[in-house]
Amino acid sequence: MLEITDLHATVDGKAILNGLTLSVGAGQVHAIMGPNGAGKSTLSYVLAGRAGYEVTGGSVTLDGRDLLALPAHERAAAGLFLGLQYPVEIPGVSNLLFLRTALNAQRKLRGEAEASGAEFMKLIKVEAEGLGLSMDMLKRPVNVGFSGGEKKRNEMVQMAVLRPRVAVLDETDSGLDIDALRVVADGINRMRAPDRATLLITHYQRVLDYVVPDRVHVLVAGRIERSGGPELAHQLEREGYVRVAA
Ligand code: ADP
Ligand code: MG
Ligand code: MG
């Protein structure tokens, strides 16, 4: 579903991704682990098409489409979702307006009918309830005054409503207490389906007790140094990145 081949990318002229190859099949969850500064967030930004992140080699396809040829909003409409390590606050824009606008913009680009107010409210109510976010919070400006855990919860609601083909979640588990971690894991597990895939970027093994990945990859200095099953995450936790990736 998501094919990344020999990807090279620079930020401010500095090479950050150095020949990264990764293949994520439909229905799979892959975890990407790695030390600070390895290029994990850079990978997520390059996939999403963030300005300032220049691809200097390689290719990325989603369902066979050349993802890198598309502007960011068309990548989203093609089914790519990016969960941010640090979710942004958007003062003056309610969660409801934000999400309905995003959903309908994507539907429009795909040539689908837009969601009516009633259809949208039904959709978001189900997902928000399932993830423990109140209607009161949905009416508030995006993430403004939300705790870290509430921001991550909100991101899971956004993901559930947009129903991406491929979700790239950048350290969506970091800084969460155990209850919030379970909510995030629940959100990811609820999205598991034969026609979807998740790239779960994480620093810690802990979340992988709740979301059991099909594959675990170790990203070091801009490339995948090792891949394995879920046991690789436990080995990393025990032995550290330096020994395991050597
Ligand atoms: P990770 O998410 O794995 O911790 P990042 O992708 O955030 O790593 O960063 C990878 C490397 O790229 C680091 O050395 C970081 O300093 C560098 N980097 C990230 N963003 C920028 C930027 N805007 N300008 C210059 N260097 C950057
Ligand atoms: Mg980091
Ligand atoms: Mg990061």
**The two three-digit tokens of residue 104, written as one number:** 């309908």
**The two three-digit tokens of residue 173, written as one number:** 């588990």
Distance of CA 37 from the midpoint of ligand 1 (Å): 5
What pLDDT tens digit does each residue of the chain (246 aa) get?
A: 999 999 999 999 999 999 999 999 999 999 999 999 999 999 999 999 999 999 999 999 999 999 999 999 999 999 999 998 889 999 999 999 999 999 999 999 999 999 999 999 999 999 999 888 999 999 999 999 998 888 988 999 999 999 999 999 999 888 788 888 888 898 899 889 999 999 999 988 899 999 999 999 999 999 999 999 999 999 998 998 888 876
Predicted local confidence at residue 117, as pLDDT = 95
The CB-side HSE value for 51 (13 A sphere, CA atoms) comes to 1
State how far the Cα of 218 lies from the Cα of 244, in Å rounded to an integer.
9
Distance of CA 94 from the midpoint of ligand 1 (Å): 31
Residue 21 burial class via C-beta count within 10 angstroms: exposed 0-12, middle 13-18, buried 19 and up: middle
Ligand 1 near 36 CB (within 6 A): yes
Write down all domains in the chain, each with its CATH number in brackets. 2-245 (3.40.50.300)
Ligand located closest to 35 CA: 1
Ligand located closest to 40 CA: 1
What residues are paired with 8 via a beta bridge? Answer: 18, 57
Helix segments in the chain, DSSP class H: 40-48, 72-77, 95-109, 117-130, 135-139, 148-162, 178-190, 231-245
Ligand 1 near 117 CB (within 6 A): no
- Amino acid residing at 194: P
**The two three-digit tokens of residue 8, written as one number:** 């090279």
State how far the Cα of 236 lies from the Cα of 228, in Å rounded to an integer.
11
**At 6, which helix (H) or strand (E)?**
strand 2-11
What residues are paired with 228 via a beta bridge? Answer: 216
| Nearest-atom index, ligand 1, CA of 171 | 2
Distance of CA 200 from the midpoint of ligand 2 (Å): 14
pTM score: 0.94
Identify which of 7, 42, 220 to mutate to test ligand 1's pocket (most ligand atoms within 8 A of the CB). 42
16-23 CB contacts, 8 Å cutoff, 24+ apart = 16/42, 16/222, 17/42, 17/43, 17/46, 17/222, 17/223, 18/221, 18/222, 18/223, 19/57, 19/58, 19/222, 19/223, 20/58, 20/219, 20/222, 20/223, 20/224, 21/58, 21/223, 21/224, 22/217, 22/224
Ligand 1 near 38 CB (within 6 A): yes
* Residue 54 neighbours by CB under 8 Å, 6+ apart: 9, 10, 11
State how far the Cα of 246 lies from the Cα of 146, in Å rounded to an integer.
40
Predicted local confidence at residue 215, as pLDDT = 98
Ligand located closest to 43 CA: 1
Ligand 1 near 11 CB (within 6 A): yes
Q: Whose CA is nearest to atom 18 of ligand 1?
A: 11
Ligand 1 near 222 CB (within 6 A): no
- Amino acid residing at 207: V
Predicted local confidence at residue 84, as pLDDT = 87
